[in-house]
Amino acid sequence: MTALAHSGHLTGRQLRALTRQPAMFGFLLVQPVIWLLLFGQLFKNVIHIPGFAHTGSYLEFITPGVIVMTALFNSGWAGTVYIDDMARGVMDRLLASPVRRGSMIAGTLAYQAITTMLQTLVIFGIAYAAGARFPGAGEGIVTTLVAAALIGMIISSFSAAVALLVRQQEALIGISQFIVLPLQFLSSGIMDTRLSPSWVREVARFNPVDWAVVASREALSGSADWALVAGRLGLLAAVAAAIALLAAGAFRAYRRSI
């Protein structure tokens, strides 16, 4: 109960800080729009390649892909709050207070999940405005929100762990470059992997980013294979839990080193 309250207070702290950085807030919302419209136009015609198994428009195909991509990029910076807190005395103060490490991680993950879900809704709004229509909109949007939040939490936990172990903002740039980008492009986010080389297709099967995209796209199709959706979401949840534990472990390592 206390742990939950602590997480809530820490989530609130980050949300409040976000509202005070209108430029940052705006960027969070504008960035996915650019991706959606840019990629949507740039690769508009890939849908006509024989074998591209999607019945709607490319915009409809890419919407869950951009949502997941946005969640990835947004979450890669989740560790920033720890780096800032360590540079100041905030981390020391929190660690010397009754707040548990788990609550500190949970507070950050909840914050990331909330911002990711907001972005997701904005992207759906833009996609609709641009003419996209999803046969399974109701269940599809809910599923996409869950999938995006889960993939966001996975990357956030990873970012938090790296921040606690390396303690440099630069390391988080590395996450974007070496983890987020490859994960994105080794998935069916913007391209049907059936048209990719077979090794990409193989890798994608083990890629959490692909699980999130597949689950979302499937649910939005209106004729969803719910076993597939549940399976992918389950895998995402399992990985999210495992990486959150890793982040908690990084906290232990950080404490030992000080």
Partner 1 sequence: MSTAISPARSGAPVTASRGLALRAADLVKTYPGRPPVRALDGLSVEVVAGTVFGLLGPNGAGKSTTVRILSTLSRADSGTAEVAGLDVARQPDQVRRRIGLVSQKPSSDPMATGRENLVLAGRLHGMSRRDAHRRAAELLERFRLTDAADRLARTYSGGMARKLDVAIGLMHRPEVLFLDEPTTGLDPEARAEMWAEIERLAVDHQTTVLLTTHYLEEADRLADRLAIVDHGRVVVEGSPEELKSALRGDRVRVELAEQDDTGRARSLVGGIAGVGEPVVEGRSLTARADDGAAAVPAVLAALDGAGIAVASVTVARPSLDDVYLSHVGRTFKEDEK
Of 18 and 239, which has the nearer Cβ to partner 1?
Answer: 18
The site for partner 1, by CB under 8 A, has a size of 24
Please spell the DSSP secondary structure of 163-198, one letter per residue. Answer: HHHH--HHHHHHHIIIIIHHHHHTTTSSS-GGGS-H
Determine, following the binding rule CB under 8 A, whether residue 13 of this chain makes contact with partner 1: yes
Measured CA to CA, the distance from residue 51 to residue 87 in angstroms comes to 52
Stretch of 5-13, 35-43, 217-225, 227-235 lying at the interface with partner 1 (CB under 8 A): 5-13
According to CB under 8 A, which one of 5, 38, 142, 242 is a site residue for partner 1?
5
Of 1 and 53, which has the nearer Cβ to partner 1?
Answer: 1
Stretch of 1-9, 137-145, 191-199, 201-209 lying at the interface with partner 1 (CB under 8 A): 1-9
Stretch of 9-17, 29-37, 72-80, 201-209 lying at the interface with partner 1 (CB under 8 A): 9-17
**Which token pair is 86?**
């360590």
Determine, following the binding rule CB under 8 A, whether residue 22 of this chain makes contact with partner 1: no
Measured CA to CA, the distance from residue 134 to residue 222 in angstroms comes to 7
Residue 171 CB, shortest distance to partner 1, in Å, is 20
What DSSP designation does 222 have?
S
Determine, following the binding rule CB under 8 A, whether residue 9 of this chain makes contact with partner 1: yes
Pick from 247, 246, 40, 72: nearest CA to 150? 72
Stretch of 16-24, 46-54, 158-166, 179-187 lying at the interface with partner 1 (CB under 8 A): 16-24
The contact mask relative to partner 1 for 69-98 (x = CB under 8 A, - = no) is ------------------xxxx-xxxxxxx
| Residues 155 and 75: beta-carbon distance below 8 Å | yes
What DSSP designation does 223 have?
S
User: CA 176 → CA 80, 122, 156, distances in Å?
Assistant: 13, 22, 12
Determine, following the binding rule CB under 8 A, whether residue 6 of this chain makes contact with partner 1: yes
Determine, following the binding rule CB under 8 A, whether residue 48 of this chain makes contact with partner 1: no
What DSSP designation does 130 have?
T
First to last CA, the chain: 29
Q: Interface with partner 1 by CB under 8 A: which residues?
A: 2, 5-6, 9, 13, 16-17, 20-21, 87-90, 92-99, 255-256, 258
